[in-house]
Amino acid sequence: MNEAPQYCDAAAQLRHAQVNALDGERFGVVSNDGRRYWLKPAFGCLVRPAVGDKVLVSLDAQGGYILSVLERAIAQPARMHLEGDLHLSLPAGALSIQARDGVSLDAGIALRVCAEQGSVQMQRAHLTVGTLAISGEHLQNHWVERHDSSVYHREKAVRHEADFADSRRRVEGHEELHSGSLRQRVRDDWSVQADTLDLNAQRSVAIDGDSIKLG
C-alpha cells in the first residue's frame, strides 16, 4: 500500500475509512474518496481496530489518527488496548458489569479488592490456591452437608466447644489424648471394648455403683 502524497492541506478533517491492512501498531485505511493512509489509533480510541472495520479518522497536514471504530464487518471479539496504568473513578453512582457468557480476569502478580461489605452468590465454585491465610474477628459457616479431607490437620484454640445431636468417630491408627484434667458424663450407657485395658493412677482408683461386676 502506498501512502497518499499528502494527508490534508487544511485544518484537521474527519472522514470515514475502512481498515484493509495491519502493520504492527499502524493500520492501513482507505477513505471514501479512495485515498490510502497508514494511521495509528488515537489515545482515546479504546477499541482496537481490525481489518474490515469502518472507522472514523482525523487528517491534517502532519498526518492523522483513527479516532474510533464505527462498524465491525466480521463478528469477532472486541479488544480494548491502553498503554500504561488505568484509573476508573466514579465519584457518585455504581459500576455494573453484565456478561451473558462469563467474565475472565487475569490480574497478573496481584489482585486486591477492598469493600466495606461483600456478597458473592454462586451455584458452584472451585478455588485452588498454593497458600491461603484467613484472619478476622468473627466467622460463621452454615452448611447442609460438609466434607473435609486433608493429609495433616491441626487445630489450636483458647476455648473449644462442640455440640452434636449424634457423633461417631473412627481412628484407624493410634489416638492419644493429653489433658490437665478430664471429666466424662454419660446419661445412659457407657461401654468400652478392648483386647487389653489398663487403668493406672499415681494415688487412687475409685469405682462406685449400686452393683459392680468384674469378670
Number of domains, the chain: 1
Q: In this predicted structure, what is the pLDDT of residue 144?
A: 94
Q: Rounded to whole angstroms, how far apart are CA atoms 200 and 188? A: 25
Please indicate, yes or no, if residue 19 is contained in any of the structural domains.
yes
pLDDT tens for each residue of the chain, 215 residues long: 445 545 555 678 899 999 999 998 899 999 988 899 999 999 888 888 999 999 999 998 888 999 999 999 888 888 877 778 888 888 999 989 999 999 999 999 999 999 999 999 999 999 999 999 999 999 999 999 999 999 999 999 999 999 999 999 999 999 999 999 999 999 999 888 899 988 888 889 888 888 888 87
HSE, CB side, 13 Å, CA atoms: give it for residue 139.
Answer: 4
Residue 29 neighbours by CB distance under 10 Å: 25
Please indicate, yes or no, if residue 34 is contained in any of the structural domains.
yes
CATH number at residue 40: 2.40.50.140
Please indicate, yes or no, if residue 53 is contained in any of the structural domains.
yes
Q: Rounded to whole angstroms, how far apart are CA atoms 142 and 145? A: 9
**Residue 17, domain extent:** 13-71
Residue 11's contacts (CB-CB under 8 Å, 6 or more residues apart) are 60
Please indicate, yes or no, if residue 33 is contained in any of the structural domains.
yes
Please indicate, yes or no, if residue 167 is contained in any of the structural domains.
no
Please indicate, yes or no, if residue 55 is contained in any of the structural domains.
yes
Q: In this predicted structure, what is the pLDDT of residue 30?
A: 94
